[in-house]
Amino acid sequence: MEKEHYIPRILENRINDFLKSPEIIAIIGPRQCGKTTLLHHIAAKLGFSKAGIIDFEDRDELNLFMHDIKAFAELHVQGQDFLFIDEFQYAADGGKNLKYIYDHFPVKVFITGSSSTELSVQSIQYLVGRIFVFNLYPFSFKEYLRFKEPKLGQLIDGKPQIGPEIIKRINQEEPDLIFFTGDMVNNLSSEVDPFMAQLSSLRAKIGKYSILGNHEKALVHFEQTLPLMEQLNDR
């Protein structure tokens, strides 16, 4: 059963593009980065009715896979639409047997492993043209923010409509001073235009102040940014 509080991973969107392709999907990453959780989430989304889920930390399953691949396939692969193998790095030279499954059964295979080096030696040499490798990293700030503060998470997704929520929270704090410390744009002064009305509605007891950052100063026509700064300032 999938864990109750699953935190969506950015990598999942990339993997979704290949769910209907026949290639094996390998999810590689350091320990405790969420590979097993992601694997079970994908399995739950695709449906468990015709899916085999194997953990190679179970030495009996690992030994069966390594020493009698036909018996393993009859038990876990035949008649299935999906095969999920966790901790595949324990299968020394396992790519050869994985190739056998790929070549003889119409099953979509997912594997996880903690070492891309091990998998490149053990598996990919047998699976050229048969495998897509994806790297999963520990939670990024974007993933954390999307889970912890979904509304604020929209901000880093480039959705300016979240501005009113941020403005509301800042004004509720009744700040004494507000400083805009520069780098409000990247390349064009017009980038800040969608936010000007919202930023102008900020309130501070003593006042609002802003300075130019290196991004504004790097603009060819950086003087266009000065009226924007003046509009934000109280003084």
Other C-beta atoms closer than 10 Å to the C-beta of 122 total 22
Looking at the fold, whether 88 and 42 belong to one and the same domain comes out as yes
Confidence band of 56 (pLDDT split at 50, 70, 90): very high
Quick one: average pLDDT of 136-164? Answer: 74
Q: Please give the mean pLDDT across all residues of the chain.
A: 81
Residue 209 phi/psi, 5° resolution? -135, 150
Hey, what are 170's tokens? 């800042």
Looking at the fold, whether 128 and 163 belong to one and the same domain comes out as no
Q: Look at residue 148 in the predicted model and tell me its pLDDT.
A: 80
Looking at the fold, whether 33 and 121 belong to one and the same domain comes out as yes
Residue 49 lies in a domain: yes
Looking at the fold, whether 89 and 28 belong to one and the same domain comes out as yes
Looking at the fold, whether 88 and 169 belong to one and the same domain comes out as no
Which residues span the domain enclosing 206? Answer: 159-232
**Residue 72 pLDDT more than 50?**
yes
SS3 call for 77: coil
Alpha carbon distance 107, 174 (integer Å): 60
Looking at the fold, whether 33 and 117 belong to one and the same domain comes out as yes
Alpha carbon distance 85, 52 (integer Å): 8
Query: How wide is the angle at C-alpha 197 spanned by C-alphas 192 and 203, nearest 5°?
Result: 110
Roughly what angle, to the nearest 10 degrees, separates helices 69-76 and 95-104?
50
Looking at the fold, whether 17 and 89 belong to one and the same domain comes out as yes
Can you tell me which residue has the tokens 């409509």?
A: 161
Q: Look at residue 3 in the predicted model and tell me its pLDDT.
A: 47
CATH of the domain at 56: 3.40.50.300
Q: Spell out the long-range contacts of 98-106 with Cβ–Cβ below 8 A and sequence spacing 24 or more.
A: 98/24, 98/123, 98/126, 98/127, 99/126, 99/127, 99/130, 100/69, 100/73, 101/69, 101/73, 101/77, 102/22, 102/24, 102/127, 102/130, 104/73, 105/73, 105/77, 105/78, 105/80
Quick one: average pLDDT of 60-80? Answer: 94
Q: Look at residue 55 in the predicted model and tell me its pLDDT.
A: 94
What is the tally of structural domains in the chain?
2
SS3 call for 206: coil
Q: Look at residue 194 in the predicted model and tell me its pLDDT.
A: 73
Residue 65 contacts residue 122 (beta carbons within 8 Å): no
SS3 call for 203: coil
Q: Look at residue 1 in the predicted model and tell me its pLDDT.
A: 42
Looking at the fold, whether 228 and 120 belong to one and the same domain comes out as no
Among 25-34, 100-109, 111-120, 202-211, top mean pLDDT goes to 100-109
Residue 32 lies in a domain: yes
- In terms of Cα–Cα distance, which of 216, 203, 210, 215 is closest to 229? 210
In sequence order, what are the residues at sequence separation of 6 or more whose Cβ sits closer than 8 angstroms to the Cβ of residue 53?
40, 43, 84, 86
**Residue 213 pLDDT more than 80?**
no
